[in-house]
Amino acid sequence: MSETEHVADVAVIGGGLAGLTAARRVHDSGVDVRVLEARDRVGGRTNSREIDGEVVDLGAQWIGPGQNHVKGLVSEFDLDTFEQYVAGEATFRADGEFFRDSDPFEALGLPTQLNLLVAIKLIDRYGEQIPLDAPWEAPKAEHWDATTVATWRDRVVRTSAGRDAFDSIVRALFCVEPAELSLLYFLFYIRAGGGFDRITSVRGGAQQTRITEGAQAISQALADELGDRVHLEAPVERIEHGDDAISVQADGISVSADYAIVAIPPALAGRIEYDPAMPAKRDALTQRMPMGAVIKCVATYEEPFWRDRGLSGEVVDADGPVGLVFDDSPKGGETGSLVGFLVGNSSREWADDPAGRRESVLESFVEYFGPRAGDPEAYEDMVWENEEYSRGCYGGLCGPGAVTGVAEALREPVGRIHWAGTETATRWCGYMDGAVRSGKRAADEVSERVGVRQADEGVTAGTVD
């Protein structure tokens, strides 16, 4: 195959938020950069599409307080935002029973409420003991990392409805089953998102605000700035890295550079061939951060009819195939839209059955919102675990033993290769904000090395931000 060859100071692998943020930042510091993106679009795990005339996010979509880095980009690119609709009663189903309340927590009964309050208090108290840049150094790191979230839940939450609620929240936050998660990783992740209330809430929390143009618009704006430095449909297959240089080989294109920033999830980074091979810990890490599983399903309607019935559109369902639902109507709510999440094992059950999935999701919507929900104007969904260049969403997660065993390798550069991606973030890990932060960090690591080299060579480097 004939290859186009490029030369740059820095090669960035992955054109999602992390990679594009990193690329823009090194570019702004006066450094030549090239971005290689496997897909035919930028934005990675954001994906905004027009459905039934409105922009819909089939990937990441919310931003909230404390996420100042992604918010900075939203402001900078003059994107419009609006609040997630959440007025009215939410719905919670467990043990086959529906609870409806403006605060569904109130409907759970006192023993369950107390139980969950204790659990939440412990999650936050334990979280405060975890150094976010080195969770393996927490005083109880070894014990917590040897415990699954399911085991801990059984110890702390005693009622059946409480366990159902707890599991639903875990699945909604992580897209895996509570059995799969290390308690240490779970505590770290929630702490990195500012604590339990902040990470789970709509108002005042991580689900507060939507972007009118769709979340992918951020990546698109970054890519527009970078222009032809971004190469699409260029899945990287091999990285040769020596003492003096890097050679990145993608399908049909190669980049010779001084440094590389790999800005894709560890599970995907592990599928690249490295020469020389990665150190043992780094390779083991790529085998130990499997991606969560989620199908995001959007149905559109002439109007958000549930609002008239006093329903917020929010559902947490411990029984059905759909784990979580939100009102997904566009700003102003002139038309209606619902977004449902199939998460964890349920996602994989339905991943390879598009027709059955649509039927099952709409049946669930009817159970929550009545017969009108069964007859949408349009229906579309996205199976993230079937995406060759994501292999799951929202992100890569640590099962027991991985944080204390191999997570040190997450951000540790290997020779001239640096690592970005939301999985490497120490704040808002797993979120768009974490992706942006990680891109900035990796860019600064590399810019400093390029600056030192250029200074050595008597070249004036651009200002490093």
**Which residues form the interface with its own copies (CB under 8 A)?**
142, 145-148, 150-151, 176-180, 267, 270-271, 277, 279-281, 283-284, 287-288, 290-291, 293, 344-345, 347-348, 351-352, 383, 385-386, 388, 391-392, 399-402, 404-406
CB of 343 to its own copies, least distance (A): 12
CB of 258 to its own copies, least distance (A): 23
CB of 449 to its own copies, least distance (A): 21
Q: Evaluate the CA torsion angle 336, 56, 345, 102 in order and state its sign.
A: negative
CB of 416 to its own copies, least distance (A): 17
Whichever of 333 and 399 has its CB closer to its own copies, that residue is: 399
The residue type found at 319 is D
The residue type found at 209 is T
For residue 400, the number of C-alpha atoms closer than 13 Å in the C-beta half-sphere is: 16
Whichever of 27 and 171 has its CB closer to its own copies, that residue is: 171
CB of 291 to its own copies, least distance (A): 6
CB of 246 to its own copies, least distance (A): 19
Whichever of 176 and 436 has its CB closer to its own copies, that residue is: 176
Whichever of 73 and 239 has its CB closer to its own copies, that residue is: 239
Whichever of 290 and 304 has its CB closer to its own copies, that residue is: 290
Which residue is associated with the tokens 């467990």? Answer: 94
CA–CA dist 123, 142 (Å, integer): 16
**How many Cβ atoms sit within 10 Å of the Cβ of residue 459?**
11
Whichever of 202 and 351 has its CB closer to its own copies, that residue is: 351
Whichever of 73 and 295 has its CB closer to its own copies, that residue is: 295
Whichever of 184 and 311 has its CB closer to its own copies, that residue is: 184
CB of 433 to its own copies, least distance (A): 25
CB of 228 to its own copies, least distance (A): 27
DSSP-assigned beta bridge partners for residue 275: 240
Whichever of 60 and 383 has its CB closer to its own copies, that residue is: 383
Whichever of 221 and 278 has its CB closer to its own copies, that residue is: 278
Q: Which of 152, 211, 147, 153 is nearest to 182 (CA)?
A: 147
CB of 383 to its own copies, least distance (A): 7
Which residue is associated with the tokens 């769709």? Answer: 214
Residue 17 C-alpha from the chain's centroid: 10
CB of 363 to its own copies, least distance (A): 21
CB of 97 to its own copies, least distance (A): 22
Whichever of 56 and 278 has its CB closer to its own copies, that residue is: 278
